[in-house]
Amino acid sequence: MPSDWSRSWEVDRLVAGQLSFDGEVPLASMPRLQDRIELASAGSRVARARLSFGKEHGADVARIRVAAEVPLRCERCMGLVSWPVRTEATLALAADLSSVDAAPAGLEPVLAEQGRVVLRDLVEEELLLALPLVARHEDAAQCAAGAAAASAAEDEITQKPFAQLKDLLKRR
């Protein structure tokens, strides 16, 4: 990952220079995303991102585009689901909470504490917003094989805590 994606940048510098960034950010490098994704399958997967900074409607903005295939755990069958993410947004970069409320309509406000942002964090936020609350295969038939295997495994592990109770009662 280029150091530019994890580095903290001054918003004023990004906007004044109308800087743009285009590259890949490893999914495994995003700390808030790690609780949501299937890390074993994330290995070398990346999010392709493009960010460009400027002024719009008197506000500092970042235009962001993110594309990724995010590995999630299906809640129906516990199998792997590769969730496609394609998202674009225009973010209003606010220096403090009062500026967040004053963001122009149509722009998504983002708090840039102390006038700084980390590009990776912007990409991570867009990915988190694009993920489903409950991951599952779109077609329930895709889950049938996984659900049958999970059911068979549960049957094998069935515990019977009172199975030995009869023998214990006879001893008394």
pLDDT at 159 over 70: yes
pLDDT over threshold 50, residue 1? no
Q: What confidence tens digit (pLDDT) does each residue in 104-128 have?
A: 888 888 988 888 999 999 999 999 9
**What are the CA-CA distances from residue 22 to residues 48, 64, 121, 123 (Å)?**
8, 10, 15, 11
62 found inside a domain = yes
Residue whose pair of structure tokens reads 């689901």 in the numeric block: 81
Q: Is residue 167 part of a domain?
A: no
Q: Does the residue 10 lie in any domain?
A: yes
Nearest partner of 27 among 72, 64, 65, 63, judged by Cα:
72
- Expressed as residue numbers, the domain containing 27 is 3-148
Mean local confidence (pLDDT), 8-17: 91
Q: Determine the pLDDT at residue 163.
A: 78
Residue 96 lies in a domain: yes
Parallel/antiparallel/unpaired status of strands 59-73 and 116-118:
unpaired
Closest CA to 91 of 105, 104, 110: 110
Q: Categorize the per-residue pLDDT at 169 as very low, low, confident or very high, splitting at 50, 70 and 90.
A: confident
168 assigned to some structural domain:
no
Average pLDDT, the chain: 84
Residue 33: the pLDDT is: 87
Report yes or no on 157 lying in a domain. no
Local structure of 154: helix, strand or coil: helix
pLDDT above 70: percentage of residues in the chain: 90
Work out how many domains the chain is built from and give that number: 1
In a domain, residue 101? The reply is yes
Residue 50 lies in a domain: yes
CA–CA gap between residue 118 and residue 113 (Å, rounded): 10
Statement: residue 68 has pLDDT above 80: yes
